[in-house]
Structure 1
Amino acid sequence: MDISDLRVFEAVSRLGSMNRAAQELNTVQSNVTTRIRTLEQDLGVSLFQRHARGVSITPAGQRVLPFVGRIARLLADARTAAQDEGAPSGALSLGSLETTAALRLSGLLSRFAKTHPAVRLVLTTGTTRKLLDEVIACRLEGAFVAGPVSHPELHQQVVFREELVLVTARNLRSPDELASVPELKTIVFQVGCSYRQRLETSLAERGIVTARPLEFGSLEAIINCVSAGVGITLLPRSVVAGAWQEGRIAIHKLPPGRAEVDTLFVRRADGYVSSALSAFLDMAHASFSVSGT
């Protein structure tokens, strides 16, 4: 068993197909099939069930899968540590919520790029659930997510606190009017967004039944749809302040227990903190007064 076999295994499990994995890995399907069979023989178990539509990972494969990212990260950490002379350089892969990236990170990223030009920083956006999965699987070195987060393999820092507000079209004067809106729609990010979960909980507590949510991957698309009266959403006040000042939307306060949410920076507790990541966290601390937890 070697890391190249494990990478093939990860690609097949993620894509559900030997052929698609071969395409992604820029090799032929027979090579992928051979590597999987070799790995299965080495481990003494079947990792996949073959069927007409492709393959499905077995329970044994599910147990093996979490180790792939950790092994790859350990090897990458060893290489980084060996080459890390203290001056920030090399690749730095981070993640962020769409809202955080849009409002909070542009200045930080610009300063970091100018201060440390030898670092190749790549920022990926996604929902809290997706970003946590990526950090746990060692595909990201760290990410900005919405709290609370509880996971034994993660180290977390509070970056800043946001006030969440209900965002509606301008003609809605009070959240009490929502109960009379026929087929009320929520406009949200994909499943896994903590703001979406909080909105659904808040509406359920009011006894409000909504139609199937409209999902968008763009913050601006969500704000535009709310402005047009298509539906409502829940977002940090700082994110929608500009649209509110322009008169495009209305915002409504939430009860104190529902309004505040911490934005956290999470990373694997056992991950190597490179000079590049350390420099980024130092700059974030100076920008946002990060407090460790």
Structure 2
Amino acid sequence: MGAMRRHRAAEAWRWQAGGVAMDLAGLRVVKAVADTGSVSRAAEALNCVQSNVTARVKRLEEDLGVDLFLRLSRGMEPTPAGRVLAGYADRVLRLVAQARDAVAEAAGHGGRLAVGSMESTAAVRLPPILARFHRDNPDVELTIAPGPTETLLAEVLAGRLDGAFVGGAVEHPDLTARRIFDEELVLAEPAAGLTTDSARRTLIVFGRACAYRGRAEMAMREAGRVPYRVMEFGALDAILGCVGAGMGVTVMPRSVVERDPWRELLAARPLPGALARMPTQFIRRTDSIETGSLRAFLAAVSDGPP
């Protein structure tokens, strides 16, 4: 009887405490531990001590009556229940952030917008779009985050970006894609010509997360430049500068290759039709709220050809 009374008392406590631990701080902890797989890394990400993370997780588990994580020698792994809660935590935290931005907009305090973009798009296509947007929305705090397509997809899905310009077709149940324009991809070589066979067989590109890299490798194979070697760089100007110096070739949009100062240093060779066309799309989460800032940005994108 004593054990039964203690069990009922515990159940009553859980019922009375239900929801107390399920606050935003608790949800942030669950998401951080699920994302990092470690209490120490979660604490570092949340800028708090490890004991707070451990206590929050334990309190939530007691509150819900389930184990949220498996304690392993290599870290913390979400249980099925933990994965479910982490998914809801992600959605709730994104909605809270969107709500704050919407309230700020309604109060006339501008708003915030974080947009990702491929480097080539940011260099050539975005300046007139950003000029139109800033002219009409000077109070909006706009951040542009450059990166390769696969990285941008992950950042939008995680809710860290409100949207992003990416290359190629996008098919994901949680993303909405809007085609903005098509790029013509070309094989960029030094204007002075390639002086060695090694340079003809050297491909200078971004990492594998780049949408253009797959096209570039296909172009090398179709041109018979095999075997080829790859040199990876993290910056657009570094890639174009090395091509201009005669170190190798790359595949880029014609709009990039034919802009200053590269038009004097590079030659654009056409690619076969199947490889030459690459759509640039603006993606965002399907379940995201379209804030006034985002509507204004999309209007700036649609206001004439980029």
TM-score range, shorter chain: 0.7 to 0.9
Deviation beyond 6 Å, 4+ runs, structure 1: none
Note if contact 2:240-2:262 (Cα within 8 Å) is conserved in structure 1.
no
| Residue of 222, 227, 233 corresponding to 1:209 | 227
Larger Rg: 2
> How much does 1:88 deviate?
8.1
Secondary structure of the residue that 1:265 maps to in structure 2? strand
- Looking at structure 1, the residues matched to 101 and 94 of structure 2 have their Cα atoms a distance apart, in angstroms, of 10
| Residue of 45, 54, 58 corresponding to 2:67 | 45
Note if contact 2:199-2:246 (Cα within 8 Å) is conserved in structure 1.
no
Q: How many residues in Structure 1 have an aligned counterpart in Structure 2? A: 281
> How much does 1:146 deviate?
0.8
Given the superposition, is the C-alpha separation of residues 259 and 12 from structure 1 closer, same or farther in structure 2, using an over 3 Å criterion?
Answer: same
Secondary structure of the residue that 1:186 maps to in structure 2? strand
| Residue of 95, 99, 103 corresponding to 1:74 | 95
**Residue number in structure 2 paired with 1:267:** 284
- Looking at structure 2, the residues matched to 135 and 195 of structure 1 have their Cα atoms a distance apart, in angstroms, of 19
Secondary structure of the residue that 2:278 maps to in structure 1? strand
- Determine whether 1:123 maps to 2:144: yes
- Determine whether 1:143 maps to 2:164: yes
**Residue number in structure 1 paired with 2:14:** none
Note if contact 1:108-1:287 (Cα within 8 Å) is conserved in structure 2.
no
Note if contact 1:166-1:234 (Cα within 8 Å) is conserved in structure 2.
yes
- Determine whether 1:162 maps to 2:183: yes
> How much does 1:14 deviate?
3.7
| Residue of 243, 251, 254 corresponding to 2:271 | 254
Structure 2: any 5+ residue segments left out of the alignment? 1-21
- Looking at structure 1, the residues matched to 244 and 87 of structure 2 have their Cα atoms a distance apart, in angstroms, of 43
Note if contact 2:199-2:249 (Cα within 8 Å) is conserved in structure 1.
no
- Looking at structure 2, the residues matched to 221 and 240 of structure 1 have their Cα atoms a distance apart, in angstroms, of 13
- Looking at structure 2, the residues matched to 149 and 20 of structure 1 have their Cα atoms a distance apart, in angstroms, of 32
- Looking at structure 1, the residues matched to 269 and 79 of structure 2 have their Cα atoms a distance apart, in angstroms, of 47
Larger RCO (CA within 8 A; separation ≥ 6): 1
> How much does 1:191 deviate?
2.0
Q: Where do 1:80-95 residues align within 5 Å?
A: 80-82=101-103, 84-85=105-106, 89-95=110-116
- Looking at structure 2, the residues matched to 10 and 191 of structure 1 have their Cα atoms a distance apart, in angstroms, of 28
> How much does 1:172 deviate?
4.0
> How much does 1:151 deviate?
1.5
**Residue number in structure 2 paired with 1:12:** 33
Matched residue type, 2:127 = S
Note if contact 2:40-2:50 (Cα within 8 Å) is conserved in structure 1.
yes
- Looking at structure 1, the residues matched to 263 and 301 of structure 2 have their Cα atoms a distance apart, in angstroms, of 28
User: CA RMSD, aligned part only?
Assistant: 2.7
Note if contact 2:187-2:252 (Cα within 8 Å) is conserved in structure 1.
yes
- Looking at structure 2, the residues matched to 252 and 62 of structure 1 have their Cα atoms a distance apart, in angstroms, of 49
